Structure 1
Amino acid sequence: MGKQPKRYAVTASTIEEALGALARMPGMLTQAFSRWKRVRLVVEEAEDERTLNQNALQWKWCQEASQQGDQSASEYQAWCKLHIGMDILCRDSEDYATACRNVLGSLTYEQKLALMRHPFDWPVTRAMTKKQLTEYLDRVWQHFTALGMRLTDPGLKGINADEYREVA
């Protein structure tokens, strides 16, 4: 038997998508009631997801940092995920913070850094909303430029002002 979902969720950006989700609702409710005695139905605003441009920009910056610093792009990425990204996600989600404490709490610093990298690739930036990734990029920019590194201007990567705000 496959892994059962803990919840059923649908995100819609248009009324047509929402009506399509409603059409699937009877099947989801049937499955939910067969598994649980009670269910809660919630309609809430969905956060914007991160953009591919934001994701590409963070990798570009880590590559640029590796050309100017003493670590590989992967090592810089792991440092940013551990020190900047996890700080944001733990602040915004008690569930994420609890999971991090439970799984990472007893590990050494080196082990935590290793988990941020391939092949483990602890989910940090891919778990972020667009707003969280914007904050993450701001803080990555601040970190690297404070070290004297020069990074590609986000405007050159086609990042719009509403997707990334460069710090002053």
Structure 2
Amino acid sequence: MLTAQCREALRDVGGIPIFFDLSSGDRMISQTESACLSALGSGGQALRPLFHWMETRIPRLYAGQPIGIIHGYLNVSNLITEGGDLRYILGWQRPMLAPLALEQALALRLAGYESEDGDWGKFATVCHILWHAWAYTHVLPIEGVRQTALKLADGFASPLAE
């Protein structure tokens, strides 16, 4: 009954509203660059390695990956199990249209772990940079939000293995 009501409500609003449309590598790169440049200005030298990494690695990550709606913030407080099976996922504050593999990398990062594939781990970090830069520009124009985005971007200043 509730599923039918949700399906009807989503049909009325035109589908699941998404926070970011990252359905292609080009969209991911342009949205992140735009958000970073708006929120961080030149951002010092940290943005150059970040943009370089995106341009060289993002196309490979998207190649052959299925795209769909991902939660973007999965953690134990967003999951309800019943009889040992996952039944419900709560807290859809920032669903994204993105590669489905990104969900695992984001969940691992939020839990304090790294993805086994370092590029997916960095992709998860780029998403957090994008979120903080976007939030600084559109919602929370406080210096702490901007500094968080800059601190995350600084992580890309280290040498990158090609």
Q: TM-score normalized by structure 1?
A: 0.24
Of structures 1 and 2, the larger Rg is shown by 1
Structure having the higher strand fraction is 2
Q: TM-score normalized by structure 2?
A: 0.24
